[in-house]
Amino acid sequence: MTRLYDLIIRNGDVIDGTGAPRRTADVAIADGAIAAIGDLGAARADAEVDAAGLIVAPGFIDTHTHDDWMVFESPGMLPKVTQGVTTIIAGNCGISLFPLVTDSIPPAPLDIMRGGYRFDSVRAYREAFAASPAAVNVAVLVGQSTLRARHVPQLGLAASDAEIEQVRQDVEAALREGAIGVSTGTFYPPSAAAPEDEIVRMCEPMRRLGGVLVAHIRDESDKIAESIDETARIGKALGVSTVISHHKLVGKQNHGRSRATLAQVREHAQTMPLCLDCYPYAASSTMLRPERVTQCDRILITWSATHPEAAGRYLEDLAQEWGRSRHEVAQALVPGGAVYFIMDEADVRDILAYPDTMIGSDGIPSDETPHPRLWGTFPRVLGLYSRDLGLFPLERAVHKMTGLAAQRFGLERRGELRAGHVADITVFDPATIQDRATFDDPQQPSVGVRHVFVAGQATLRDGAPLDARPGRFVGSTLVNARSAQ
């Protein structure tokens, strides 16, 4: 008897997420999972999609996001769905929406979460998402800066023994309630005073419960080598898989150092599970810090509390109009956010090409004029860097944003197209896929992604977003705790 499936995607070029060469095959979906892959000419289904000439790939995993609140505020998740993203990892750079409840504006950069801090635990966040899901799956990290803001009154000082114990208890609770790990943000003021030993002690539950340590390292400029070593020591002390966030070299004096830093990472990776993520742009985006003005020639303001009209303007133009120095104008715009044209394109390509580099957008949805990476990261890798520049084959590009990410974060039954895996699938046109967002017009959807499915439900069909909200809260096999159900 001929089997009836829910959906068959026919005649596509399957890139399965492992890095293996593409092959023409049909993909059948039943009950939210991949049921079969191969020549399914005789099979029948309730619906079919003709993918001739298109790539059928696992749904893309955005390994570095700040979408913790966006999944509630904009559950359609258009910046991600239109790129082919089916799963996001939130809570990066030491910033998570939990476990913190406050009506006050928290210290920067925690203030990028404009929805407010209202979740006292991972459990509360998880339950809220289950009650009101988005168009993407969500996995979460608990943030070191959020934990310090909750328990350390004097953020400019190292935490006391009692404060460390309070944070340690929160870390344990977060892992037991479904967090996949801890993110640190020692580059930022709320965590800059935390010494290495404090971080190890705060994260002690990871020695027993596992998880992933994801680090926005202390310095991406002159002391980047020391910061990479520090992160590796912390990861080794905890015995966990470790990720260096958005690896880059900041400041002209550091341009060209990527080969040395990548060799350093490669050496550490011989003795521990260590990898990277990055975004495909030579400009960063974060809180507005006046001390950074001297490190780059161009700065684009993304938002300002004191001068909202400055959003989308370049600091250099404002300085000329105001008749003041760039540093004085930056000080006048704080608190705010900015895009810094502070990196070198050759370094970006070296880091992208490193075999253990995953793809993370690092977009900030709350910015009035966001970095274009929020809308364009994944098609930019596939279109510009893989197809146009030939930096790596398309199979390897897909692996970076699917199988590699699922493996490094322990996302079970995701990241590869194989029977039994969750049917998170992206179908795109390899000839036309391309980012359209620019620094001056950053909220333009990419082109070339044709269909997106989350657990077999379409979130994008023929390039048009749908109203489906099939996203699920996702845990990690790297966490040994029994997550709360």
pLDDT per position as a tens digit, 295-344: 888 999 999 999 999 999 999 999 999 999 999 999 999 999 999 999 99
Which residue ranges does the chain devote to CATH 3.30.1490.130? 284-341
CATH superfamily, with its number, for domain 59-282+343-409: Metal-dependent hydrolases (3.20.20.140)
E strands, 114-162, in order: 117-119, 137-143
Among all chains, which residue has been given the structure tokens 């956010």?
337
Tell me the C-alpha distance between 388 and 377, whole Å: 15
Alpha-carbon Rg of the chain, whole angstroms? Answer: 22
Cβ atoms of 369 and 303 closer than 8 Å = yes
Q: Residue 357, Cβ neighbours under 10 Å: how many? A: 21
Q: 4-57+422-430+445-465, which class in CATH?
A: mainly beta
Tell me whether residue 187 is exposed, middle or buried, using C-beta atoms within 10 angstroms of its C-beta: 0 to 12, 13 to 18, 19 or more: buried
Cross-strand partners of 336:
304
What is the reported pLDDT for 413?
Answer: 97
Predicted confidence at residue 273, as pLDDT, reads: 98
Could you say which DSSP state residue 354 is in?
Answer: S
User: How buried is 398 (Cβ within 10 angstroms: 0-12 exposed, 13-18 middle, 19+ buried)?
Assistant: buried
pLDDT for 116 equals: 82
The SS3 call for residue 50 is strand
For residue range 96-123, what is the model confidence (pLDDT) as tens digits? 999 999 999 899 999 999 888 999 999 9
Alpha-helical (H) ranges within 307-444 are 315-322, 326-333, 345-353, 373-380, 394-400, 403-409
Residue range(s) occupied by CATH 2.30.40.10 in the chain: 4-57+422-430+445-465
How far is 396 from 391, CA to CA, in rounded Å? 10
A 10 A CB-CB count for 313 gives 18
Helix pair 326-333, 315-322: axis angle to 10 deg: 100
CATH code, 284-341: 3.30.1490.130
Distances from the Cα of 437 to the Cα of 79, 101, 242, 375, 434, angstroms: 10, 35, 31, 6, 9
User: How many Cβ atoms sit within 10 Å of the Cβ of residue 422?
Assistant: 25
Using CA atoms, how far apart are residues 445 and 82, in angstroms rounded to an integer? 6
**Measured distance CA(186)–CA(189) in Å, rounded:** 7
Question: In whole angstroms, what is the distance from residue 135 CA to residue 433 CA?
Answer: 21
473 DSSP 8-state letter: B
* Residue intervals in the chain for CATH 3.20.20.140: 59-282+343-409
Taking 70 as the pLDDT cut, the residues of the chain under it are 1-2, 481-485
- pLDDT of 485: 36
